[in-house]
Structure 1
């Protein structure tokens, strides 16, 4: 049974039993504790925890997931894949254990002809929590399982919680006996390779208190509404139903593996280590396809770094298999054909996906060349110093600056007989990640610990958010918080985090900056500095008290600055307009991959190889402003996510969408995007869109920046004034400025070339005098000099004028602004005495620079150090 059919049967089964089919959420998630959805229940977490009222009593989904904690195990075990799909059915205060167990048993064992999976009931084992006698009894009664196939296990295996105070409960897992060829008899407690887990039923019925780990915390009591959260691994079920050994060999991954084997000219199954690499390729290519399809772009941090690492591991694995040519385009096309039956969007977006992957692969190939050079130099220095360990800081530099994978550093260093301080590298990596996570959490929470905010949400419920309806509202202060907890009162000049029962302030999201404004009360005036949504449903305000004092329980009037909101609306609508204009001019592959807008300014990132021409930039700007001149209407509609996709709405993938989504249209189909931001009512209200910059923000990624509204007109006015001043200074009509400036530049270039020629003539004439004045240092003729011209040419010219029979060394320095360049040249006689130009340059420049033994160069020293450096040459020549 193909994986797409397994997926369809699951959704149909539960839909027929009253479950609402919920589409998979995009892989990127706004949850500040996660980069990607890593479990099927993540999109349902606000409903399961009671933070947000559930829109349906029972639901089902097949959720895309990415989990990279075990990435090093990918390919080495049958249980680890970085991308997987989790089939789930959820009861939100509706049914409980009996129905969940009955559903799982029926679907698993019903005949294929009857719509089930046809698993042999006699080969199914289950586990239950050792205290859960109710579940044990239900398995006996509903499934007729004997006691020996109902295995009791402890908290580590069969009790679920999120690791923090909140819902928890026992779980029951279903395993399938794959036969004695795959391991020992005795059930899942003995061998989890032979007995493969394929479904986990979580019974959320208790509330847990504080405590570490998976056990040892107190159970505070029963939940008022019990929930069901189940997860059936789609790849695991496919492994069982397709009769293959592991998830890398199912129909959605095996074709990629086979194509990789064909390209590398190896046979799967012939060599254990090659098999691991082939499985890594198959897994990572599929994962990359799905991440790219959901809008993630390779980058140096966060989600982008995860994707970059996955792509580069796939490319490197192919190189280890002996295939050094570009490979991602070929393999991604195979993965697309495998996944399109379940996810048609991967085929629709494939041109964009392939283009981004090709850019990343090209960049990585360049990285390999640069990183290899840096690594070889570092290893040589380690050996020269008599050490056998590459410092962790050097490995981290290779990783952080050059994108060089640590496993590649380890392997290549080992080939040269050098170890790597892996512990030092890991410490630096951990510190970097902790800083990044802390920064992200602090930004979202306004500097307040999330653990301090959660009790506020638990006690008072979600914020009544009115930003899309009004600019003002009366509100009550629910909490005043500092970094560590509640603050009794905040006074004039102090900054604190404030939670209101209702707010008109827009919280930063979807690329739009937060609102500015004031909180006013009987005895307080406070400025709103920032607004964030650190937890689903909770809005927090960072405020500075301007006068008086603010305390919990106070009544205030919350008012958004209307000029700020107008500018924000112009900028956000301008971003949509620019995105549509970009796609109109460049085509559908120019899909927004990131944006930011605030009053008067917007930026938009999109995948594209190479800088845009001046003509393309002008055409994009003209298309955007044409929409403004046509005064296209701006409309908002609410609909289901499938309806929005059917309509062709563009989704921004750093958002999580609920049952209903908000679609913003500008000119109908011309611009149609899922968006929760604030917008103008007609395009003309944007004023103008003036492109101010187009630049690179990484391999294959470009950024457009623009001024909008009043700031846009101001930018154009400043440009006009600048042109007027230039025209006045050149005494030329504006229309002739490009030709007049081009003529001036040509004359300047000619003058520079003539000056260079004269300097070179002077240096050649000077070379003979320098050679004649060479200093004899223990039999070696030494010349040091400075020049404003070509140091390399002068060094060679002086070396040629030294007697060929005498050892000769020439070092020429050339200051250029704050930094200087050094060139060393050594003749044949000096080489025979052991002199080496490359070694000399490195001694002079503290390890920097290089070249051949006859001619080398380097730079970077401050220009003021150049005389002293040249004076040190004689002493360094004969240093051991």
Structure 2
């Protein structure tokens, strides 16, 4: 049974039994506490917890999920996958335990010919929470299961809650017995790979609080409305029904594994380690494909970092299979072909996905080359010093700066006959994580517990009137202060205010929130922020500037008209620039993110090269021509399918409901799905002035532009600057470039002459410094301060010149100088001095210690520095002491 067939049977079965079929949500979760959608129930959490009234009594879905907490287990076990699909059926106060158990057993055991999955009842086991006698009796009643195939387990495996106060309940899991060839007898309680969990039924029936851990909490009471949340692992059922040993060999994954085997020349099944690597490649390529199809781009933080890690682990695994060149073109094409039947968007958006993947691969292959050079040098230095262990800080540098996985450093060091100081590496990694966590904690926005919004959301959706009105009369439905509902907020307080209607735009779709005021009888509120904390609800963060506001009072929202005008100019300008980019660069220059506010827009798009000045000017000209042509701007609401049939562009990675808002500028010239505020005609935008273009990832670029009045002000400021320079340089504006060029050439000529004079002056000092050499221990030592110099390079040249002047003698040259107010020390040693045991690195370190800093280097030449220029004499004495021992 193919994976797509398993998926469709699930949806058909539950649709026929009164469940609303809900499309998969994006892998990018709406939950601010999650990077990704990690389980099938995540999109339904607002309904399960009662935060948002459910739009249907029962639902079913096949949800795309990503989990990376077990990434190191990928490829090693039969069931660990980074990307997976969770079949789910949900009841919101409708059927409960008996209904959920009956539906699960019916679908699993109904013969394939009759639309079921055809499992033999004798192969199925269940686990229940140890105190859930009701579930045990239902399994006996519904499925006729004997006692020995129903196992009681504790809270750590068979009890569900979010980790926060709220709904919770016992679980019952269904397992398939793969048979004695796969492990020991004894059922799921043995925790053996023989028993594969295929379905988990959560009976959400209690309200809990005082949550200390997964197993330590207090049950407050039974919920008035009990919910069902179940999940069946699609890949797990697929590898069972397809008769293969693991999820990496199912029809949606195996083609990538086979392509990796072909490219590497290794046969799958011939070697365990190679098999693990091929499974990792198959899993990670599919996971990366699906993440990029949902709008995630490689980066160094958050979701982008997870994607980057998956891509780089894939490259490393191919390297361990002996393939050092690019392979993503073949691997990703194989995954696209395997997944497109279930997810057509991976084929539709493949040009953009491939561009991202190939760009990341090219970048990391270059990074590998640079890091390998660093590693080779460190290996040579380690061997030269007689050590057999590569320093942990070197391994950390390779990881932190060059993106080398530690496993790659270990492998390459081992090939050179060295080990790695893993303990020191782990200490540095721990310190970095600690800093990162502290930084993240300090930046984390304090949000009210979302449950505080449930009562307000239950009253209905907030009506947004701001498309047509700048002021709206409304009613105060709720006030929140410090995360708690309050009846009143007084002057000086900051609070969240929930209104029945509002003309103030809440931040979304890349558009910053409106500025404005909320006024009523005896109070005035300054609007600081407008957000949508839960779907359908708008919350206004306000400062009470006068009076007091109470729940139930009438209020009027007043949008700052000047700010809104600028915001609409910027948002419409974003659409204009996006259309111009695609006109010049082609359809793969697809918007991947944006931000706009009054007077400013920022647009990220898929592209792997910097724009030339000519291209940038062309995009700017096309944008301003569209503004000059006074194109009509039209907004319409329609179904998502209707919008797509019109060719409306859905921005990469954005989420849309069944009814969408389409914004046309000049008809089909720019046609996008967008909920933002816009001008009536393009001429209202005024002007586009592109002020920046930069890289934000391996295959992502960013354009920044000023819009409207701010764009004109920038041009006016630049004109004033040109006039001032023209006056100062006594030339006409059109000749300014030539005049500046002449001055630059003259300056370079002068700098060259000065450098020649300085080099001659340094050279003249060499004989006198060499003449000051004194016998110290077994070497001749020159230990001198040379006053002030322009750079450390000058000091280094002087030290090596003095060393050459001393010829073949065993000599050590230790010089110190004041470079820009900081002490710098250089130590140079001759071969004979090194044979006598005088190495530059330790000597430079001794000088640097006296200077209050650090230093080191190679045996023949090393450098140190510090913060205290007055300590230079002590640093020179330190060298003398070291050599005199």
Structure 1 residue aligned with 2:201: 201
Shift of residue 599, structure 1, vs aligned partner: 0.9
1:630 aligns with 2:635: no
Q: 1:15 to 1:478 in 2, by over 3 A?
A: closer
* Distance change in 2, residues 1:622/1:329 (3 Å): same
- Which residue in the other structure is 1:878 paired with? 883
Q: Which structure 2 residues correspond to residues 320-335 of structure 1 after superposition, within 5 A?
A: 320-335=320-335
Q: Which whole-Å CA distance do the structure 2 matches of 1:870 and 1:326 have between them?
A: 51
Q: How far off is 1:569 after superposition?
A: 1.6
Tell me the CA shift for residue 441 of structure 1.
4.1
What residue number does 1:49 align with?
49
Cα distance between partner residues in 2 of 1:394 and 1:100 = 56
* Partner Cα distance (1:745, 1:68) in 2: 54
User: In 1, Cα distance between the equivalents of 2:859 and 2:197?
Assistant: 63
Residue number in structure 1 paired with 2:510:
511
RMSD: 3.9
Shift in alpha-carbon separation, 1:493–1:167, aligned structure 2, 3 A: closer
Partner of 1:109: 109
- Which deviates the most, 624-633 or 394-403? 394-403
Cα pair 1:838 1:855 within 8 Å, conserved: yes
Contact 1:280/1:317 (8 A) holds in 2: yes
* TM-fit CA distance, 1:590: 2.5
Aligned-residue offset at 1:721: 1.8
For 1:379 and 1:548, locate their aligned partners in 2 and report how far apart those are by CA, in whole Å: 74
State whether structure 2 residue 619 is matched by structure 1 residue 620.
yes
TM alignment of 1:251-330, pairs within 5 A: 251-330=251-330
Q: Answer yes or no: is the 8 Å Cα contact 1:256–1:335 preserved in 2.
A: yes
TM-score of the aligned structures, taking structure 2 as reference length: 0.87
| Partner residue, 1:827 | 830
Residue number in structure 2 paired with 1:539: 538
Residue 188 of structure 2 aligns to a residue whose secondary structure is: coil
Q: Are the aligned partners of 1:641 and 1:660 in contact in 2 as well (CA < 8 Å)?
A: yes
How far did 1:770 drift? 3.6
State the Cα deviation string for residues 231-275 of structure 1 (Å, max 9, x = none). 221111111111111112222222323333444454444444443
Distance change (3 Å), C-alpha of 1:874 and 1:507: same
* Distance change >3 Å, CA 66–CA 728, structure 1 → 2: same
Structure 1 counterpart SS, 2:591: coil
SS at match of 1:825: strand
CA contact (8 A) 2:528 2:542 kept: yes
Change (3 A) 1:788 1:157: closer
Specify the alignment match of 2:353 in structure 1: 353
Distance in 2 separating the partners of 1:30 and 1:452: 15
Which sits farther off after the overlay, 678-687 or 478-487? 478-487
Residue equivalent to 2:231: 231
Deviations 1:765-785 (A, max 9, x none): 443344345455455141643
Q: Structure 1: how far apart are the matches of 2:88 and 2:797?
A: 72
SS in structure 2 at match of 1:612: coil
| Shift in CA distance, 542/9, structure 1 to aligned 2, threshold 3 Å | same
Partner Cα separation in structure 2 for residue 843 and residue 593 of structure 1: 53
Instruction: Kindly report which structure 2 residues correspond to 1:793-804, keeping only aligned pairs within 5 A, or say none.
Output: 793-804=797-808
- In structure 2, C-alpha distance between the alignment counterparts of 1:259 and 1:865, rounded to whole Å: 66
Contact in 1 for aligned 2:783/2:876 (Cα 8 Å): no
What is the CA-CA distance between 1:211 and the residue it aligns to? 3.4
Contact 2:410 2:420 in 1 (8 A): no
Deviations 1:76-105 (A, max 9, x none): 322321110112233445555555444434
- Higher mean C-alpha deviation, range 622-631 or range 456-465: 456-465
Kept in 2: contact 1:517–1:560 (CA 8 A): yes
Return the offset for 1:28.
0.8
1:220 CA displacement: 5.1
Matched, 1:854 2:860: yes
1:429 to 433, 447, 455: 433
Secondary structure in 2 matching 1:419: helix
Alpha-carbon spacing, 1:666–1:140, altered in 2? closer, same or farther (3 Å): farther
* CA–CA distance in structure 2, aligned partners of residues 636 and 831 of structure 1: 79
- The answer as to whether partners of 2:493 and 2:543 remain within 8 angstroms in 1 is yes
Q: How far apart are residue 856 of structure 1 and its match?
A: 4.2
1:848–1:137 CA distance, 2 compared to 1 (3 A): same
Partner Cα distance (1:440, 1:190) in 2: 41
What SS does the aligned partner of 1:805 have? coil
Q: 2 CA distance for matches of 1:94 and 1:236?
A: 28
Cα gap change, 1:430/1:614 in structure 2, threshold over 3 Å: closer, same or farther?
A: same
Does the 8 Å CA contact 1:75/1:280 hold for their aligned counterparts? yes
* 1:847-880 deviations in Å (ceiling 9; x for gaps): 866654334456x756957955874574365277
* Closer/same/farther in 2, CA of residues 147 and 379 from structure 1, 3 Å limit: farther
Q: Which position in structure 1 is the counterpart of 2:700? A: 701
Q: 1:565 to 1:394 in 2, by over 3 A?
A: farther
Question: Structure 1: which 5+ runs fail to align?
Answer: none
Once the two structures are superposed, what CA deviation does each residue of 1:639-667 show, in whole Å capped at 9, x if it has no partner? 44455455554444665433333333333
Q: Please give the alpha-carbon distance, in whole angstroms, between the structure 2 residues aligned to 1:844 and 1:593.
A: 52
Alignment of 1:508-587 (within 5 A): 508-552=507-551, 554-587=553-586
Q: Which moved more, 1:16-25 or 1:175-184?
A: 16-25
TM-score, L = length of structure 1: 0.87
Q: Deviations over 1:486-544 (max 9, x none)?
A: 56765544434444444332222222212211122333323111223333444333322
* 1:755 alignment counterpart: 754
Is the 8 Å Cα contact of residues 794 and 812 (structure 1) preserved in structure 2? no
The answer (yes or no) to whether the contact 2:378–2:390 under 8 Å persists in 1 is: no
User: Which has the higher mean CA deviation after the structures are superposed, 211-220 or 588-597?
Assistant: 211-220
Give me the whole-angstrom Cα distance separating, in 1, the residues matched to 2:871 and 2:707: 49
Greater CA drift, 367-376 or 475-484 = 367-376
Query: What are the superposed Cα offsets for residues 776-817 of structure 1, whole Å, 9 maximum, x if unpaired?
Result: 5455141643544752444333332224335242536583x5
Determine the C-alpha separation between the residues in 2 that align with 1:879 and 1:24.
76
Aligned equivalent of 1:450? 449
Please state whether the residue corresponding to 1:665 is helix, strand or coil: strand
Q: Partners in 2 of 1:379 and 1:477 — Cα distance?
A: 72
Aligned residues: 870
Which 5+ residue runs of structure 2 have no aligned equivalent? none
Instruction: Decide which moves more: 75-84 or 749-758.
Output: 749-758
Report the secondary structure of 1:533's partner residue: strand
Counterpart secondary structure, 1:694: strand
2:52/2:454 contact within 8 Å kept? no
CA distance in 2, matches of 1:713, 1:431: 43
Question: Secondary structure at the residue paired with 1:193?
Answer: coil
Q: Is the 8 A contact 2:58 2:91 kept in 1?
A: yes
Q: Which moved more, 1:306-315 or 1:453-462?
A: 453-462
Q: Is the 8 A contact 2:461 2:536 kept in 1?
A: yes
TM-aligned CA distance change 1:812 to 1:400, over 3 Å? same
Matched residue, 1:811 = 815
Comparing 282-291 with 325-334, greater Cα deviation is found at 325-334
Q: 1:466 to 1:199 in 2, by over 3 A?
A: farther
